[in-house]
Structure 1
Amino acid sequence: MSDAIETRGVVIRTEADQPKFVHMKGFGAGEGNTVLISMATAVFLIVAWWLIAKLGLVPRLFLPTPQEVLTQIAAVYRDGYAGASLGEHVSASLFRIATAAAIAIAAGIPMGLLMGLSRWAKGVFDTPIEFYWPLPPLAYLPLMIIWLGIGETSKVTLLVLAMFAPICLSAQAGVRSLPIERVNAARSLGARPWQLLISIVLPSALPEILTGIRIALGVGWGTLVAAELIASNRGIGYMIMSASQFLATDVVFVGIGIIAACAFAFSAAIRLLEATLVPWKGKS
């Protein structure tokens, strides 16, 4: 049976000949918004925390209620804690993490790109990075104190070492994942080495680099708190340590909440930067 009808030399196509558009089914988490799911999860966790503390399933000494923690936040903000105001504690920690992150990014990205482009650079620098990277930062914190003292230099150096490796290795991975066809196409158009680096290599490695920075910031916050627990008189970690010595669990929760808020803000900033600089990520 024909799907076309001929009338006076004019061919009229039936609906069977019309193109059909098929919507491809996604795979994995996709690009759907997860804000509502995350908010519902947060509300569930807070309610569960409140119920466990309110019903006395865990003694108040070990698990205060959310209301007690909120009250303590106001008290610490008003009166300070451990010989310093809340602003001084937070600003000390932010200064250390921001300074170390800037140094680690400035040193780690060029080193990672160089290791991805040159086998000599990879052979020389890969061994020391792989040697110290698996070590816990607290393992060489005493060495930093012996070498650099208990001032800010030892803490910032410790943070730089902890954050440098993820950034460097992610930059190297970004270069090694670069399709060679893209490089050859640029070469065929007469691109010079520095043009390849700026226009091809760096943009292609940028998604991996930003992911490495997010990982490095997480490692940096954990290392910062550990360093402040041992050798500091200012900072969020120091505030938590002082509170734990007096069994002030609500103040410990305040410190943990501040750290979580700061870490979330840093991560959100990197996500925003990622959406601005590499909007094509995950869409190829």
Structure 2
Amino acid sequence: MSVFVDVAPPDATRPPGGTRFPGWLARVALPLLSLLVFFTVWQLAAASGIWNQTFVPYPSTVWRAFIDVSTTHDGVRGYAGYLLWEHLYMTLRRVFAGVVIGVAGGLALGLLMGSIPWVRSVLEPWLTFLRALPPLAYFFLLVIWLGIDEAPKVTLLALAALPPAAVATTAAVVAVPVSLVEAARALGASRRDALRDIVIPSALPETFTGIRLADGMAYSSVVAAELFNGVPGIGGLVKDASNYNNTPVVLVGIFAIGISGLVIDGLLRAVERRTVPWRGKA
């Protein structure tokens, strides 16, 4: 009995490397296309005359505002005496400090809550309570307690970053298969060894997701954190410009926060790929 296997010839229209071109298309060409569509729609909306230029300025107007904020012109240095990169540097410094403190506390709490059930029962409602609060709800209290310098800003960002990191780490630790831990203990591993060699590696993928969420929460709170004495700072720039209906400068600040956030998230993704190469493979 003969078995014939019909092997289709290679598709001549497929580019070398199989799916490389579609992958490249999805990663580069499609985002660029979406960006082009966004600016086209924005230009058309501004040119339509439906909205006042105060509300929807032309993209070229925002670009000129970006140049003005980034340079010294007519004797004026940037915005409020600081260049755009100086505003962004101060904001990133505050975000970095807040995220480091919040994530460190969140990881410690997550490991503790995931490993000890009664600790999780005690602390989980408080974390949920804190996570549900908008930053402005307690920022004014922080200002009363800590003043208007850097302390309340960094504290606010840390409190915004802590719950996502803690919740993600707790869920990741709880999800570690008990059989793996018990097998390690049966082979003579101590509790510390099981935590180091089994629990933490298994929890790392979800923990990185929590770190990225924590960074996003800190970024979403940065304008609130810089409401008082926020210049230099992107949040302070946005608040001050909004007081004078300076929409182009407000949009420059928004774009600065968003683009820097994309860059930082990309860096976190790169670190995650190097630190947790087994994610999705085991």
- The one-letter code of the counterpart of 2:117 is R
Are 1:266 and 2:264 counterparts?
Answer: yes
**One-letter amino acid of the structure 2 residue matched with residue 206 of structure 1:** L
Report SS of the residue matched to 1:58. Answer: coil
Match of 2:63 in 1: 70
Q: For residue 122 of structure 1, report the CA deviation from its aligned partner.
A: 1.3
Aligned to 2:17: none
Query: What residue number does 2:49 align with?
Result: 56
Cα drift, residue 32 of structure 1: 5.5
Structure 2 alignment gaps of length 5 or more: 7-21, 73-77
Q: How far, CA to CA, are the matches of 1:153 and 1:242 in structure 2? A: 21
Say if 1:82 and 1:242, in contact at 8 Å, map to a contact too.
no
Q: Report how far residue 251 of structure 1 moved.
A: 0.6
Matches within 5 A, 1:62-211: 62-79=55-72, 80-211=78-209
The one-letter amino acid paired with 2:68 is A
The aligned amino acid for 2:149 is G
Offset at residue 62 of structure 1 (A): 1.1
Shift of the alpha carbon at 1:16? 5.3
Shift of 1:231: 4.3
Matching of residue 234 in structure 1 with residue 232 in structure 2: yes
Q: TM-score, normalised by structure 2?
A: 0.86
Structure 1 residues 17 and 254, CA gap change in structure 2 (3 angstroms): closer
Amino acid at match of 1:38: P
**1:210, distance to aligned residue in structure 2 (A):** 0.8
Report the aligned-residue RMSD: 2.0
Q: Report if aligned partners of 1:115, 1:121 keep a CA contact under 8 Å in 2.
A: yes
Equivalent AA in structure 2 for residue 63 of structure 1: V
Unmatched runs of 5 consecutive residues or more in structure 1: 4-13, 19-30
- Alpha-carbon distance in 1 for matches of 2:281, 2:38: 33
1:239-250 map, 5 Å: 239-250=237-248
Write the distance in 1 (CA, Å) between the matches of 2:266 and 2:256: 15
What residue identity is the alignment partner of 1:57? I
What residue number does 1:15 align with? Answer: 3
2: CA distance between counterparts of 1:17 and 1:40? Answer: 43
| Aligned-partner residue type, residue 213 of structure 2 | I
Contact 2:223 2:239 in 1 (8 A): no
Question: Is the partner of 2:160 in helix, strand or coil?
Answer: helix
Q: How far apart, in 2, do the equivalents of 1:276 and 1:48 lie?
A: 39
Amino acid of the structure 2 residue aligned with 1:76: V
Deviations 1:141-188 (A, max 9, x none): 111011111110011111111110110111000001112232233233
Q: Displacement, 1:283?
A: 3.6
Residue 44 of structure 1 is matched in structure 2 by 37
Identify the residue that residue 251 of structure 2 maps to in structure 1.
253
Q: Secondary structure at the match of 1:229?
A: coil
CA deviations 1:52-71 (Å, max 9, x no partner) are 21333332221112222122
Find the counterpart in structure 1 of residue 12 from structure 2: none
Structure 1 residues 188-221: Cα deviation after superposition (integer angstroms, max 9, x where no partner): 3322211211111111111111111111111111
Asked whether the 8 Å contact 2:184–2:194 carries over to 1, the reply is yes
Task: Give the partner amino acid of 1:227.
Answer: A
